[in-house]
Amino acid sequence: MNATVIRGRNVDIRLWTRPEEVEEHAMRQLHNISALPWAFKHVAVMPDVHYGKGATVGSVIAMRDAVSPAAVGVDIGCGMAAVRSSLRASDLPDDLSRIRSEIEQAVPVGFAMHKATAFDERDSGDWGAFWGGFDALAGGFDRARALHQMGTLGGGNHFIEVCLDSTRQVWVMLHSGSRGVGNILAQHHIAIARGLAHNAELPDRDLAVFLAKTPEMEAYRRDLYWAQDYARRNRAVMLRLVCSVLRGKFPQVAFDEPISCHHNYVAEETHFDTEVMVTRKGAIRAGRGDMGIIPGSMGTGSYIVRGLGNPDSFESASHGAGRRMSRTKAKKRFSAEDLAAQTAGVECRKDAGVVDEIPAAYKDIDEVIRNQSDLVEVVAKLKQVICVKG
């Protein structure tokens, strides 16, 4: 679909969804973002848009010489990883519970951590240089905890899945971020930004920014990029651990080159011939040829996509289906029996503890994909047969 343009306060708002489908609180957030004096060109709004803490989920904000830590959010670097295997659906056993159990044993979920460090040289480059940056971080996060959380899933909407594409090929896909250390770093810098004098008159103090060439900005950039790297490495470790589970059952299995993408992050990019800091809060980069992952809910399936490089979206696309109702509302409206019915055929948790992740709490992923046909092209559609959640 073509973007709908709404007049904002300082810059326009471009939406890849119908304005009437954006909840009132989210639209108010978008207008507050558009009022920022540092906002560049327009605010790009993805079709999975919904209200979020700090800034709207599904928003792409380009700013000149400024960045808002709350707009990035507390799960710095949250994103997706996926890899196609040589396995076919016919290779999998009829009962998938054992594979699910072994994945849960290999990758700690929820608040659990590895008892020993799980990463090594197979995973993601120079670990010595990476951990060498830990001591310079703000916030005082426990080093041992950061070490043992590397390669862990967490909870909420994070997941690990075994999926089938339309040709019945087996994929592994997962969703996670920077775990506890990213959360602590984000909260530390958000608190600092809120107290800076130049943010005193903003329409929403949650959108407080750091300005370029200040000590506060440099400290945030250092911690931000380290946390984004932590999140990327975390997904790489988990992907290797899950693939090892499959390799243990199918010794001849081979895997393609993995796909990995952040969807809560900042990147320094050039758009409309201008150097800007782009915050994608619930959005992936979709430059021409960029491979991306757009997941649905735990019962509906997901998409592998290729970016079309649309300049009006700041070369971005949605990060998923997007919630249609809050977790609290979902828990009140649906039961474990509803969850079991909506995840029929998927080997997954079906208890009250994950009712807030029920498919009906999310938007229609197929419609979300249709609404961004000018942002990405579909490479593959996946349907999960196993879903692991914390």
The structural domains of the chain, ordered by start, are: 4-324+362-389 (3.90.1860.10)
Q: What would the mean pLDDT of 240-267 be, rounded to a whole number?
A: 98
319 is catalytic: yes
Burial 142-164 (b: 16+ CB within 10 A, else e): eeeebbbbbbbbbbbbbbbbbbb
Is 90 exceeded by the pLDDT of residue 295? yes
Burial 319-348 (b: 16+ CB within 10 A, else e): bbbbbbbeeeebbeebeeebbeebbeebbb
Q: Which of 42, 188, 262, 319 is catalytic?
A: 319
Q: Give the HSE-up count for residue 382: Cα atoms under 13 Å, Cβ half-sphere.
A: 29
pLDDT at 221: 97
pLDDT at 122: 83
Residues in CB range of 389: below 8 A, 6 or more apart: 109, 153, 155, 158, 159, 298, 348, 349, 354, 357
pLDDT at 357: 97
93 exposed, middle or buried (CB, 10 Å; 0-12, 13-18, 19+)?
exposed
pLDDT at 54: 82
Angle between helix 179-194 and 215-249 (nearest 10): 160
Measured between alpha carbons, how far is 14 from 62 in angstroms, rounded to an integer?
Answer: 13
Bridge partners, residue 89, by sequence: none
pLDDT at 53: 86
pTM over 0.85: yes
State pLDDT tens for residues 21-67.
999 999 999 999 999 999 999 999 999 999 998 899 999 999 999 99
Q: What would the mean pLDDT of 189-203 be, rounded to a whole number?
A: 95
State pLDDT tens for residues 29-41.
999 999 999 999 9
Is 80 exceeded by the pLDDT of residue 124? no
Q: What would the mean pLDDT of 270-298 be, rounded to a whole number?
A: 98
12-15 and 39-50 beta bridge pairing: parallel
**What confidence tier does 390 reach under pLDDT thresholds 50, 70, 90?**
confident
* One-letter identity of residue 159: F
pLDDT at 125: 78
Residues forming the annotated binding site? Answer: 75, 157-161, 175, 263-264, 295-298, 302, 319-322, 389
Place of tokens 């992050």: 265
Q: ∠ CA 280-35-217 to the nearest 5 degrees?
A: 55
Contact assessment for residue 388 and residue 102, using Cβ atoms and an 8 Å cutoff: no
Q: Which two tokens stand for residue 266?
A: 């900042």
Place of tokens 């150097």: 275
Considering just the CA atoms, what is the radius of gyration of the chain in Å?
20
Q: What would the mean pLDDT of 137-151 be, rounded to a whole number?
A: 95
Q: What would the mean pLDDT of 318-329 be, rounded to a whole number?
A: 95
